[in-house]
Amino acid sequence: MREIAIIGAGISGLATAHAIERLAEDAGIAVNLTVYEREERSGGKIWSIKEDGYLCEWGPNGFLDNKPMTLELCGRLGVRDRLERSNDNARKRFIYSGGLLNRLPENGPMFLQSKLISWPGKFRLAMEPFIGKRIDGADETLAEFARRRLGPEALDKLIGPMVSGIFAGDPETMSLKSCFPRIHELEQEYGGLIRAMLKLAKQKRAERKAGKQVASAAGPGGVLTSFVSGIQELTNATVSGLRGQVKTGAAVTELKPLSDGWQLTLADGSKVEAELVVSAAPAHILKELVAGFDGELRELLAATPYAPMNVICFGYERQKIARDLDGFGYLIPKKEGCAILGTLWDSSIFPQRAPQGHVLLRSMMGGATNPKAIDLSDAEVKQKTMDELRKIMGIAAEPDFVRIFRHQRAIPQYTVGHAKRLEGILSRLVGHPGLLVTGNAFFGVGLNDCVNAANQAGDQVVKRLGVTG
């Protein structure tokens, strides 16, 4: 039996374990696999908490079905038939600007009628096809890209809120290439975003005419997908589907290279050995594990910052909220000076997230642009959130249900230079055979990204086992 150790039982570590066992079996290689998790529960940031009839997501509330990897994992685990797709409300998204919730336009006529972007801002956006592409190959911030191609108003009211919603990030520091590689590719290939959209739309129309099944011409999208019982069902099912062990409350405190593998020291002082180790731990954890044998690798890992986040769940009787909740929720531009980044109308997206006759709202506070919010007391977080909901949604009532979840390090920040740092990390790992990395600190922060990277890590492990076997 070949001993394999995985550090971290979030979705990245668990999906990697699943991929290794599946691929090793196909290759006729017997493995004994153990996943070590420092927390007392598996799942990492995925945690579906049910209280008083409400279902609150501690972290992500689902994944988009426009990419196959997570759907395929659900199929292999036998839980695909239990998936729940968000309803049509999820298509309606809003930006709070100028004292109003402005619906994000989904087509040309809606864009022209929208009051979110001023007419000068719309004219500036219309100039995008005439802006030359960047040719120096520099790693550009999202803010630099947006100002150059779309104008400052689009940055403030569209790009900035999107970056805070996805990454809890600051567009002034985030890397275009690493955060949105497809957008960078479209500019390089087509010379501009509008040109790319027109050409891709024409191509897809031709494919449809030829009878092919194609995705939306609008590009990346998909339907937000979860489970009736919450997204934690995915990690629970992955744990149940493993033949190997998942040891919770088992923090790895040190890694030591051996002549034929690795030695892992656990928090209780015990030591175990493995032929191969896959770290799915956050960068700030892994950097301490490698400090004893590779200082340069430690410094590269230490250069990945994380944004803190407070997640605030409020439950109300539906009759206490006058406005309609027909939508996904809203994001808030930084210039509005609000205490929260935005609010999701969770029970409109997935109706069973609140008891009958009640609604669940989930607000986000903090991120890279407001890191000090993590230090506020629960009373301060609650009051600031209530003040914003009163101002933005007209909710004067006290919430009937309140839960506040804190993430000191919520989401890794792919700041400018991330791709170069990642290249350096992977280069250093070449000198440490049998040690691999995966997880949202490196190859994408979304759930689909994590599963895709886990599949790739599993493939690398089994190939190495085959070579050394």
Answer yes or no: do 245 and 394 share one domain: no
Asked if 71 contacts 65 with a C-beta cutoff of 8 angstroms, the reply is yes
**Do residues 136 and 191 share a domain?**
yes
Which structural domain range is residue 14 located in? 2-44+239-304+414-468
| Final residue before a domain boundary, out of 187, 209, 231 | 209
Nearest to residue 21, comparing CAs of 13, 10, 29? Answer: 29
Joined together, the tokens standing for residue 116 give: 């979110």
Residue 448: both structure tokens together: 């689909």
22-36, 86-100, 336-350: segment of lowest average pLDDT: 86-100
Q: What is the pLDDT of residues 297-337, one digit of tens each?
A: 999 999 999 999 999 999 999 999 999 999 999 999 999 99
In a domain, 220, yes or no: no
Are 421 and 405 in the same domain? Answer: no
Residue with tokens 């969770």: 346
Question: How long, in residues, is the chain?
Answer: 469
d(CA 386, CA 382): 6
Mean pLDDT for the chain overall:
94
CATH number for the domain including 347? 3.90.660.20
pLDDT in tens, 26-80: 999 999 999 999 999 999 999 999 999 999 999 999 999 999 999 999 999 999 9
pLDDT confidence of residue 200: 84
- List the CATH number of the domain containing 300: 3.50.50.60
Round to whole Å and give the CA distance between 276 and 6: 9
Name the more confident of 370 and 220.
Answer: 370
- Cα-only R_g, the chain: 23
How confident is residue 203, by pLDDT bands cut at 50, 70 and 90? Answer: confident
The answer to whether the beta carbons of residues 264 and 5 sit under 8 Å apart is: yes
> Confidence band (pLDDT; 50, 70, 90) for 439?
very high
317/399 same-domain check: yes
Instruction: Note the pLDDT of residue 106.
Output: 84
**Total number of domains in the chain:** 3
Position of tokens 């950097």? Answer: 287
In a domain, 214, yes or no: no
353 pLDDT band (50/70/90 cuts)?
very high
Overall average pLDDT of the 92-111 stretch: 92
For residues 316 and 167, state if they share a domain: no
Q: Is the pTM of this model over 0.85?
A: yes
Angle at 419 between CA 413 and CA 423, to 5 degrees: 125
- Both 383 and 464 in one domain: the answer is no
127 and 248, same domain (yes or no): no
What pLDDT was estimated at residue 88?
77
Contact 103, 111 (CB under 8 A): no
Strands 276-279 and 2-7: parallel
Task: Mark whether 251 and 122 lie in a shared domain.
Answer: no
| Domain boundary residue, one of 161, 192, 209 | 209
Name, in order, each residue with C-beta under 8 angstroms of 137's C-beta and a sequence gap of 6 or more: none
Report the pLDDT value the prediction gives residue 218, as an integer from 0 to 100.
Answer: 34
Domain of 132: which CATH number? 1.10.3110.10
Verify that 135 and 190 share a domain, yes or no.
yes
* 51-60, 210-219, 235-244: least confident range: 210-219
Inside any domain, residue 280: yes
Do the Cβ atoms of 317 and 355 come closer than 8 Å? no
Q: Is residue 228 part of a domain?
A: no
Indicate whether 294 and 164 sit together in one domain: no
Residue 407 within a domain: yes
72, containing H or E segment: helix 68-77
Taking only the tens place, the pLDDT of each residue in 365-376 is 999 999 999 999
Residues 198 and 143 placed together within one structural domain of the fold: yes
Task: Let me know if residue 233 belongs to a domain.
Answer: no
- pLDDT of residue 213 exceeding 70, the answer is no
Burial zone of 377 (CB within 10 Å; 0-12 exposed, 13-18 middle, 19+ buried): exposed
Same domain, 141 and 199: yes
**Sorting pLDDT into bands at 50, 70 and 90, what band is 204?**
confident
Residue 203 resides in a domain: yes
